[in-house]
Chains A and B, each alone.
Chain A
Amino acid sequence: MTLCVITDTAVQHSFDHLELAQLAIQGGADMIQLRDKKLSSNELLEIACAVAKLCQSKNIRFIVNDRVDIALLSDADGVHLGEEDLSVWEARKILGSRKIIGATAHHLERAQELEKEGADYIGFGHIFPTSSKEKNTPPQGIAELKKVCLTLKIPIIAIGGIGKTNLNEVLEAGPHGIAVISAVCGEQNPEKATRALKEIIHENTGNLNPCRI
């Protein structure tokens, strides 16, 4: 069961991306995703290189959101593509077969399309209402998540409004991982918050190993 922490410097101002990644890893995160739409390319690349180095030394997966070029130049493990980003096959052409390409889907049909296009995993959501990002689509809910998990062969990472209070519910639906933003980055102690999520995952699934992505 993979716990992915997406670093976010907009929901708080106490920690930068590298600090958040460090704290999340100390708390037990299995995957770090760097997302920042505001930084210049040069700044983003410098941060990506630093986080990539940290993750490599800890054997943690490192994914860059949206920017295939930053993933390429920082030698990240892969890229996560949203709906307004490059397509999976366009990213694949740039990154090659050995890198991870994840993509966001808001419904089952889209998730199936992305699987066909060659995505390595699906970020499915948002499961619950969330404040981290402005959403144009309604929350998908647990039932839809369950359907997607049963239908697709590639790993599903549930995302959107997931926290301590509803994590058990999400885990029952059978995803291969969960991704959080606010539940870690919006907390005063991101390390402790990550550890708390990890403990719930352990209690619920008995599985602390990340899924194969």
Chain B
Amino acid sequence: MLPFKLYLITDRKATHGKPLEQAVEAALQSGVKAVQLREKDWPARPLLNLAHTLRKRTLAARAKLLINGRLDIAMAAEADGLHIPENGLPIPKARRHFPDKLFGKSTHSLEKAVEAEQHGADFIVFGPVFDTPSKNGMMEPRGLTHLKQVAHAVKIPVFALGGVNPENTKACLENGAYGVAVISAVLSAEDIPRAVASFQQALGEL
């Protein structure tokens, strides 16, 4: 069983000018148990520096840290896992060099979700489920029906991503999601502890 249902994905541009470390720290102190470091436009050096900082904070909060995309950063930061985007590294190859770690996979379709499970992903992030102002804004929302199809087609946990808020979280769970993945719903919140608490309540984690 995955020890988290709320999966926080970073985006330093979503914090309204607040340092990302601060926003993540607030979320961790409010009980977030899994963070994915995802700053795609950053070179390796600043990314790894931030990964080291988040590693300390997540260890202190007994939370998981996953790194998006780069296996080398995940290994160097001694993260708990690697989160692989749709065009990312093949999981079996990466796992050979990073054993006993969590491998998450982002997918936007049923076929890719099934493939991810076959390749040994520990969980899937599926989306965008709803309309979203953040990164998946370019993509058509997949909707709850599609989420349900994916959740029923695979045995591994599925996290709903994209426009998820505390109000529609319940609908995601009813349609087979194990949990939800969020970016701006937490990082852009004026009151991060309250935003986290609302999600936890909706997820039955409180």
Count how many chain A residues have C-beta atoms less than 8 Å from C-beta atoms of the other chain. Answer: 19
Contact flag A73-B46 (CB < 8 Å), given A41-B87, A42-B88, A86-B76: no
Inter-chain contacts of B85 with A (CB < 8 A): 40-41
A86's partner among B48, B93, B97 (CB-CB below 8 A) is B48
Pair A41/B88 contact, Cβ less than 8 Å:
yes
A79 to chain B, nearest CB (A): 9
Given contacts A73-B89, A73-B97, A94-B76, contact A41 B44 (CB under 8 A): no
Q: Are B76 and A90 in contact (CB under 8 A)?
A: yes
Query: Out of B73, B76, B88, B97, which one reaches A40, CB within 8 Å?
Result: B88
In the complex, what's the smallest C-beta–C-beta distance from B112 to chain A, in angstroms? 12
A66 contacts which chain B residues (CB < 8 A)? Answer: 43-44
A72-B97, A85-B44 known; A45+B72 contact, CB < 8 A: no
- A67 x B72 contact (CB < 8 A): yes
CB distance from A50 to the nearest CB of B (A): 15
A75 to chain B, nearest CB (A): 11
Determine which of A43, A73, A84 lies in contact with B94 in the assembled complex, contact meaning CB atoms within 8 Å.
Answer: A73
Query: For the complex, is A116 an interface residue (Cβ under 8 Å from B)?
Result: no
**B71 contacts A73, C-beta separation under 8 Å:** yes
Interface of B is mostly: helix
The CA of A72 and the CA of B45, in the complex, are separated in Å by: 18
A68 part of interface (Cβ distance < 8 Å): yes
**Cβ of B69 under 8 Å from chain A:** yes
Question: A41, A45, A85 — which one has the most chain B CB atoms within 10 A of its CB?
Answer: A41
CA separation between A93 and B72, bound complex, in Å? 10
- Give the residue of B46, B69, B71, B76 whose beta carbon is less than 8 angstroms from that of A84: B46
* A69 part of interface (Cβ distance < 8 Å): yes
The residue from A45, A67, A86 contacting B45, defined by CB atoms under 8 A apart: A86
Return A85 CB to nearest CB of chain B, in Å: 5
Distance of A40 Cα from B48 Cα, bound (Å): 19
Q: Supply 6 A–B pairs (Cβ within 8 Å), ascending by A.
A: A69-B70, A72-B71, A84-B44, A86-B48, A90-B48, A93-B76
Q: Lowest 3 CB-CB distances: which A-B pairs, in order?
A: A40-B87, A69-B71, A84-B43
Contact B87 A43 (CB under 8 A): yes
Tell me the minimal C-beta distance from A199 to chain B in angstroms. 37
Q: Could you tell me the distance between the alpha carbons of A85 and B97 in the complex, rounded to whole angstroms?
A: 20
- Whether A41 and B69, one on each chain, are in contact in the complex, defined by CB atoms closer than 8 angstroms, is yes
Min CB gap B82→A, angstroms: 9
Q: Are B45 and A69 interface neighbours, CB within 8 A?
A: no
B75 within 8 A of A: yes
Contact string against A for B residues 67-86, beta-carbon threshold 8 Å, 1 for contact and 0 otherwise = 00111110110000000110
**Inter-chain contact B48/A73, CB cutoff 8 Å:** no
Residues of B within 8 A of A67 (CB): 70, 72
Smallest Cβ-Cβ distance to B97: which chain A residue: A72
Kindly list chain A residues whose C-beta atoms are within 8 Å of the C-beta of B48: 86, 90
**Bound Cα distance A68, B69 (Å):** 12
Contact partners of B89 in chain A: CB under 8 A: 41-42, 45, 69, 73
Q: Is residue B137 within 8 Å, beta carbon to beta carbon, of the partner chain?
A: no
